């Protein structure tokens, strides 16, 4: 699955970046996650509130206030990235997440769009909705 996004919010780059610095910060923005637990070597387990398999993830690149990248291992595998572009009104959060259920193997391209794509899009949308609820959105989401 590939989830892409490009949103502008009325907040500082520092605030936007604070939600992505480590997987421990993700539940502050994405309410679908429970509290992250450190596993060592930079890896974290991030439980889903409604799915049985947690994310096992770590940050692979951190350019403070500019970009954060991560990878997954275990049941879920893949990668993601967000970048922060300052604007006149605040910040554009732009990026993607490419994630797949490893046990599905060659069936993943057929099963994921039917069963998993929407739940993952809802996780991202929950964060954007929360920021919009704080009165921090300049534009509507572009999930594509």
Question: Where does the pLDDT of residue 135 fall: very low under 50, low under 70, confident under 90, or very high at 90 and above?
Answer: low
Pairing verdict, β 37-40 and 2-9: unpaired
- Whether domain 2-133 has CATH 3.30.420.40: the reply is no
Question: Where does the pLDDT of residue 50 fall: very low under 50, low under 70, confident under 90, or very high at 90 and above?
Answer: confident
- Spans of all domains in the chain: 2-133
Residue 49 has pLDDT above 90, yes or no: no
- The string of DSSP letters for 91-126 reads EEEEEEEEEEEGGGGGGHHHHHHHHTHHHHHHHHHH
How large is the average pLDDT for residues 86-94? 93
**What was the pLDDT predicted at 142?**
45
Say how far apart CA 41 and CA 106 lie, in whole Å: 30
The H or E element spanning position 132 is helix 117-133
**What was the pLDDT predicted at 144?**
44
> Percentage of residues in the chain with pLDDT exceeding 70?
92
Question: Where does the pLDDT of residue 41 fall: very low under 50, low under 70, confident under 90, or very high at 90 and above?
Answer: very high
């Amino acid at each position: 699955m590939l989830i892409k996004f490009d949103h502008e919010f009325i907040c500082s780059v520092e605030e936007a970046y604070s939600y992505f610095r480590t997987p421990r910060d993700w539940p502050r923005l994405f309410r679908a996650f429970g509290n992250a637990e450190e596993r060592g070597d930079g890896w974290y387990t991030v439980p889903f509130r409604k799915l049985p398999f947690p994310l096992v993830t770590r940050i692979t690149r951190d350019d403070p206030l500019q970009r954060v990248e991560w990878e997954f291992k275990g049941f879920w595998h893949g990668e993601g990235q967000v970048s922060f572009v300052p604007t006149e009104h605040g910040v554009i959060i732009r990026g993607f997440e490419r994630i797949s259920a490893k046990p599905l193997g060659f069936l993943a391209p057929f099963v994921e769009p039917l069963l998993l794509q929407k739940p993952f899009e809802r996780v991202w949308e929950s964060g954007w909705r929360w920021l919009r609820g704080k009165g921090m959105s300049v534009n509507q989401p572009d999930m594509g």
